[in-house]
Chains A and B, each alone.
Chain A
């Protein structure tokens, strides 16, 4: 049982380049999330999708876009990467939005130079 799978594991981008982070879950969860984790800042929510067909902004959405492709997949796009977006990105899923434990992937480590 794979759980939540994120690709790629590592990425280096130059300022201004674009990329898409992929996430897929096999637990038949309704809700999916994208977080970023920075030293001392904890996990901050970028975007979430409460259910298939819906997406909403989280705490730090600027510079990102998302697509809930189907119930399993939720992608995060950086249109024009900036050094401030250097971070570790985690995708998570839960049975439903709110008060339902999150299941995390193992992260994508992104460096923007």
Chain B
């Protein structure tokens, strides 16, 4: 079993929909959680960065961490065709040299 699991998709939604992207993990020591967005044939770019549990909002994006369930989510409100990309979750634990462990990514398609 992988340490970080992500549904690969593709997830197809109409423009304007609320999108929920999720990751589950098995290592309870993970404390730092990140979401990266990767457009086709490009490198990943950091979207959101959270520490421990709770919510963090940035414009149309909300990152949520539930450490008790070992579950993190990224919500996208009013989704746009430009949000079509692969979304990667990543996390790290202080006792592993803080090196990031990535999920496999979820491909999102927002249709006009």
Contact = CB atoms under 8 A, between A and B. Distances in A.
A41 B34 contact: no
B14 interface: no
Interface string A93-113: 000011101111111000000
Nearest to A58: B99
B29 interface: no
Nearest to A48: B99
A108 to B, nearest CB: 11
B102 A106 contact: no
B84 interface: no
Number of chain A interface residues as a range: 20 to 34
A105 B99 CA distance: 18
Number of chain B interface residues as a range: 20 to 34
Given A98-B97, A98-B99, A107 B43 contact: yes
B46 A101 contact: yes
A82 B41 CA distance: 23
A101 B44 CA distance: 11
Contact of B34 (A98, A101, A103): A101
Interface string B3-24: 0101010000000000000000
Contact of A43 (B32, B44, B92, B97): B44
B41 A106 contact: yes
Interface of A: 4, 40-45, 48, 58, 90, 92, 97-99, 101-107
Interface of B: 4, 6, 8, 32, 34, 36, 41-46, 49, 88, 90, 92, 94, 97-100, 102-105
